[in-house]
Homo-oligomer: A and B are copies of this chain.
Amino acid sequence: MNIEDQNGTTVLRRTNEEEPPRTLWTILIGRPLATADAPHHTIGKLIGLAVFASDALSSTAYATQEMLAILIVVGAAAYGLIFPLSLVIVALLVIVTLSYEQTIHAYPNGGGSYIVSRDNLGQLPSKIAAAAILTDYVLTVAVSISSGVAQVVSAYPTLYEYRVWIAIGLVFTIMMINLRGLRESGIIFAIPTYFFVVMMFITLITGLVRALTGGLGLVVDPPLHELATEGQAVTLFLLLRAFSNGTTALTGVEAISDGIPSFREPRTRNAGITLIWMSSILGSLLLGISFLAGHIQAVPSEIETVISQLGRTVFDGRGTLYLMLITATTIILIMAANTSFADFPRLSAITAADGLLPRQLNYRGSRLVFSRGIVVLAVLASTLVFIFQASVTRLIPLYAIGVFISFTLSQAGMARRWWKIGHLKPSEELKERGSTLHYQPGWQTKMAINGMGAVLTFFVMMIFAITKFHDGAYVVIFIIPLLVVIFSVIQRHYIDVAAKLSLERYGSPPPRIQRNRVLLPIGGVHRGTLAALRYARTLSDDITAVHISINPEESERIRQKWEQWGDGVRLVIVESSYRRFMEPLLDYIEEIYQKRQPNEVITIVVPQFVSSKRWTNILHTNTAQALRSELLTYKYIVVTNVPYILD
Q: Which residues of A contact B (CB under 8 A)?
A: 1, 6-14, 17-20, 32, 34-37, 358-360, 363-366, 490, 493-494, 497-498, 500-503, 506, 509-510, 512-513, 515-516, 524-528, 530, 534-535, 537-540, 549, 559, 561-563, 565, 567, 570-584, 587-588, 591, 601, 603, 609-613, 616, 618-621, 626, 628, 632-635, 637-638, 640-647
Which of B578, B635, B645 has a CB less than 8 Å from the CB of A643? B635
Known: A509-B565, A565-B503. A576 touches B645 (CB 8 A): no
Residue of B6, B526, B621, B635 near A363 (CB, 8 A) is B621
- Partner of A578 from B1, B10, B19, B513 at Cβ < 8 Å: B19
Residues of B near A34 (CB, < 8 A) are 577-578
> Which of B538, B587, B616 makes the CB contact (< 8 A) with A493?
B616
A638 touches B535 (CB 8 A): yes
User: Shortest Cβ distance from A647 into chain B, in angstroms?
Assistant: 8
How long is the Cα–Cα vector from A37 to B643 in the complex, in angstroms? 39
User: Given A578-B19, A633-B612, A501–B513 Cβ distance below 8 Å?
Assistant: no
Tell me, in angstroms, the Cα distance from A609 to B37 when the chains sit together. 36
A158 and B103 CA atoms in complex are apart in Å by 59
A512 to chain B: which residues have CB within 8 Å? 534, 537
B residues less than 8 Å from A498 (CB atoms): 526
Residues of B within 8 A of A527 (CB): 500-503, 506
Task: Report Cα–Cα, A506/B37, bound state, in Å.
Answer: 54
| Contact, CB under 8 Å: B578 / A14 | no
Residues of chain B contacted by A634 (CB below 8 angstroms): 643
Closest to A555 in B: B11
Contact A359 B632 (CB under 8 A): no
Main secondary structure of the interface of A (DSSP, over half): mixed
B559 and A9: CB pair below 8 A? yes
Taking the nearest CB of chain B, how far is it from the CB of A122, in angstroms? Answer: 23
* B-chain residues with CB within 8 Å of residue A567 when the two chains form the complex: 509
Interchain CB contact under 8 A, A501 and B528: yes
The chain B residue with its CB closest to the CB of A34 is B577
Report yes or no: A14 in contact with B584, Cβ–Cβ below 8 A. yes
Which residue on chain B has the smallest CB distance to residue A637? B643
Q: Which of B534, B588, B621 contacts A513 (CB 8 A)?
A: B534
Which listed residue (B530, B609, B626, B633) contacts A645, Cβ 8 A? B633
Chain B residues whose C-beta falls within 8 Å of the C-beta of A365 in the assembled complex: 578, 580-583
Whether A12 and B577, one on each chain, are in contact in the complex, defined by CB atoms closer than 8 angstroms, is: no
B358 touches A12 (CB 8 A): no
Complex Cα spacing A620 to B362, Å: 12
The CA of A527 and the CA of B501, in the complex, are separated in Å by 5
Hey, which chain B residues are within 8 Å of A642, CB to CB? Answer: 638
A358 to B, closest residue via Cβ: B619
Q: How far is the CA of A633 from the CA of B609 in the complex (A)?
A: 10
Contact of A609 among B9, B363, B497, B618 (CB under 8 A): B497
Do A538 and B516 form a contact, CB below 8 Å, given A36-B577, A584-B17?
yes
A445 CB → nearest B CB, Å: 37
Enumerate chain B residues within 8 angstroms of A613, measured Cβ to Cβ: 493
CA distance A578 to B26 in the complex (A): 12
Give A588 Cβ to nearest chain B Cβ, in Å.
7
**B contact residues around A577 at 8 Å (CB):** 14, 17, 34-37
Q: Which residues of B contact A559 (CB under 8 A)?
A: 6-7, 9
Residue pair B579, A32 in contact (C-beta under 8 Å): yes
In the A-B complex, the 8 residue pairs with the closest CB atoms: A501-B526, A34-B577, A516-B538, A365-B580, A10-B572, A640-B640, A11-B573, A12-B574
The docked-state distance in angstroms from the alpha carbon of A26 to that of B567 is 41
Residue in B35, B497, B575, B638 whose CB lies within 8 Å of A12: B575
C-alpha spacing A30/B9, complex, angstroms: 65
Across the interface, which residues of B come within 8 angstroms of A500, CB to CB?
527, 646-647
CB distance from A522 to the nearest CB of B (A): 12
* Inter-chain contacts of A538 with B (CB < 8 A): 513, 515-516, 539-540, 601
Query: Which of the listed residues A358, A497, A498, A512 has the most CB atoms from chain B within 10 Å of its own CB?
Result: A497
| A519 shortest CB reach to chain B, Å | 13
- Contact in complex: A509, B530 (CB < 8 Å): yes
> Are A494 and B619 in contact, CB atoms less than 8 angstroms apart?
yes
Listed by A's residue number, 6 A-B pairs whose Cβ atoms lie within 8 Å are A14-B576, A366-B582, A497-B609, A501-B528, A603-B640, A638-B640
Contact present for B358 and A618 (CB under 8 Å): yes
A494 cross-chain contacts in B, Cβ below 8 A: 619
Select one of B17, B526, B572, B583 contacting A576, CB under 8 A.
B17
- Tell me the complex Cα distance, A642–B631, Å: 11
A486–chain B nearest beta-carbon distance, Å = 11
Contact status of A17 and B582, CB under 8 A, knowing A573-B9, A619-B358: no
**Distance of A580 Cα from B365 Cα, bound (Å):** 6
Cβ contacts under 8 Å, A587 to chain B: 14, 17
- Cα separation A621 to B368 with both chains bound (whole Å): 12
Q: Report the nearest B residue to A578, measured CB to CB.
A: B32
Q: Give the complex CA separation of A612 and B37 in angstroms.
A: 45
| Cβ–Cβ < 8 Å partners of A20 in chain B | 578, 580
Using Cβ atoms and an 8 Å threshold, which residues of chain B touch A506?
527, 530
Contact between B562 and A535, CB atoms less than 8 A apart: no
User: Are B582 and A610 interface neighbours, CB within 8 A?
Assistant: no
| Cross-interface CB contact of A10 among B497, B570, B618, B619, cutoff 8 Å | B570
Q: A490 — which chain B residues lie within 8 A by C-beta?
A: 619
Residues of B near A580 (CB, < 8 A) are 20, 32, 363-365
Closest-by-CB residue of B relative to A514 is B538
A583 to B16, CA, bound (A): 12
